[in-house]
Amino acid sequence: MKNENLYKYILGIADNSLILGQRLGELTGHGPSLETDIACTNISLDLFGQVRSYYQYAAKIAGDNRTEDDIAMLRKEREYVNVLLVEQPNTNFAYTIARQFLFDVYHFLFLTQLEKSKDLTLSAIATKSLKEVSYHQRFSTDWLKRLGDGTAESKEKMQEAIDGLWTYTDELFHQTEADKAMVSEGVGVDVTKLKEAYYEKVEAVLKEATLTVPESKWFQKGGKQGIHTEHLGYLLSDLQYMQRTYPNMEW
């Protein structure tokens, strides 16, 4: 492959949106209200739209006749390099919102920097995606505040979700070898430089939502190296079912 690091770098971005989009898609028809149900479905569709742009570019770089569908649907579990955060299940609506919020804050910061990439294709995808992710962040932030500063029960559930998912946030700022290579070429984003702004934003919103910032300093990682939680295998069995049952289908 001519530029293997760029290929791996793109997968590192796209897999996050693919897996999170699939998680949100599981909620279609199961939201707490019609309006919220439609909003979650639309966010899922936004993420899948972004994913298509990334995978089309990755297929072009691979240059081995693989299509975007092959890359998205036909890899094995250990070949996906999404962070562990996005594969966590929809335990309840509080978990769905907490997971979305914790990723959205990162995603917006990341795309803001990716927009400056020397790679014009990645820069263009970032510019288009930012408009959508700005809405995603507003949606999840508003719901986090609403639940955190709501009833005693909603507050308890929201705090439980934040506490449960907090351990997956630090992995967002770990660099792979492909990340480092792309940063050195002015193509990639140095995610280590986003960490301070991320936690400042997250903690400010949690405070406004009358929630407690978790004190735990223990963080789980592995997703970027293809080492996942037990949840991803079940997710992929649903995601890949049609493509594996009826080969050569196209999105």
CB 229 within 8 A of CB 88: yes
Instruction: Tell me the mean pLDDT in the region 115-134.
Output: 97
Split at pLDDT 50, 70, 90, the class of 28 is confident
Q: How confident is the model at residue 36 (pLDDT cuts 50, 70, 90)?
A: confident
pLDDT of 175-193, one tens digit each?
Answer: 999 999 999 999 999 999 9
pLDDT for residue 104: 98
Sorting pLDDT into bands at 50, 70 and 90, what band is 1?
A: low
pTM: 0.94
| Reduced 3-state DSSP string for 60-114 | HHHCCCCCHHHHHHCCCHHHCCCCHHHHCCCCCHHHHHHHHHHHHHHHHHHHHHH
At 2, the pLDDT band (50, 70, 90 cuts) reads low
| pLDDT at residue 32, rounded to an integer | 75
Region 185-204: mean pLDDT is 98
pLDDT tens digit sequence for 48-74:
999 999 999 999 999 888 899 999 999
Residue with the bigger pLDDT between 39 and 124: it is 124
Chain-centroid distance of CA 105 in Å reads 10
Q: Looking at residue 245, what is its pLDDT?
A: 85
pLDDT, tens digit, for every residue of 222-241? Answer: 999 999 999 999 999 988 88
Which domains are assigned to the chain?
4-245 (1.20.1260.10)
**C-alpha to C-alpha distances, 192 to 67, 96, 122, nearest whole angstrom:** 32, 26, 19
Asked if residue 35 has pLDDT above 90, the reply is no
